[in-house]
C-alpha cells in the first residue's frame, strides 16, 4: 500500500503545472480556438479575448477568463457587492468581499492572477492564494 501511495504522489508531481505554464497553454489553445474546458466551461485568456471578434465573444459568454496582471487601482469596496479593481491591462474585475484583505496586502502595482466569468469580468476568484 505504501508503494502505491508513493507512486501516486510521484505521478501527480510529474503532471503538475504551475499557473504561468497553465496560462500559456490556455492562451495557445484559445488563439487556435481549441478551448480548454474547466468544470464544463470554456476557458480563455484576456489577450485571446481581446483578439476575438463580436461573434466569438458572443460564443464565449458565460465562459471563464484568466487575467494575469498588476493591480492598477481599486474602484470600490462595498460589503454587499465586494471589491472592484482595475488592472494594468484594462480589465475591471469584481471580487467577493472575502478577498478584501488579500487584495489590500497585494496592493497597487502588485501581481494578481484571477479567473472571472465573462462577459462582465465578475465572480472573480484569486488564484495562487488560499481561500477561507
Domain boundaries, the chain: 18-126
pLDDT on residue 3: 40
pLDDT digit string (tens) for 11-65? 344 456 799 999 999 999 999 999 999 999 999 999 999 999 999 999 999 999 9
3 state SS of 32: coil
pLDDT digit string (tens) for 73-92? 988 887 777 899 999 999 99
Residue 119 preceded by cis peptide, ω within 30: yes
Q: Whole-model pTM?
A: 0.82
Distance separating alpha carbons of residues 76 and 96, to the nearest angstrom: 12
Q: Does domain 18-126 have CATH number 2.40.50?
A: yes
Distance separating alpha carbons of residues 66 and 87, to the nearest angstrom: 12
Phi-psi region of 46 (alpha: psi -120 to 50; beta: other; left: phi over 0): alpha
- Calculate the alpha carbon distances from 14 to 8, 17, 24 in Å: 10, 9, 18
pLDDT on residue 69: 96
Cα of 116 vs its chain's centroid, Å: 6
Amino acid at each position: 500500500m505504501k508503494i502505491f501511495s508513493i507512486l501516486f504522489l510521484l505521478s501527480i508531481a510529474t503532471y503538475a503545472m504551475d499557473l504561468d505554464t497553465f496560462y500559456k497553454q490556455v492562451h495557445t489553445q484559445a488563439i487556435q480556438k481549441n478551448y480548454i474546458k474547466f468544470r464544463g466551461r470554456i476557458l480563455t485568456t484576456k489577450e485571446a479575448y481581446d483578439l476575438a471578434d463580436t461573434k466569438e465573444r458572443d460564443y464565449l459568454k458565460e465562459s471563464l477568463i484568466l487575467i494575469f496582471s498588476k493591480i492598477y487601482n481599486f474602484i470600490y469596496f462595498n460589503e454587499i457587492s465586494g471589491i472592484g479593481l482595475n488592472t494594468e491591462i484594462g480589465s475591471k474585475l469584481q471580487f467577493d468581499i472575502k478577498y478584501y484583505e488579500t487584495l489590500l496586502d497585494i496592493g497597487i502595482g502588485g501581481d494578481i492572477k484571477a479567473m472571472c466569468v465573462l462577459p462582465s469580468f465578475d465572480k472573480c476568484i484569486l488564484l495562487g492564494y488560499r481561500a477561507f
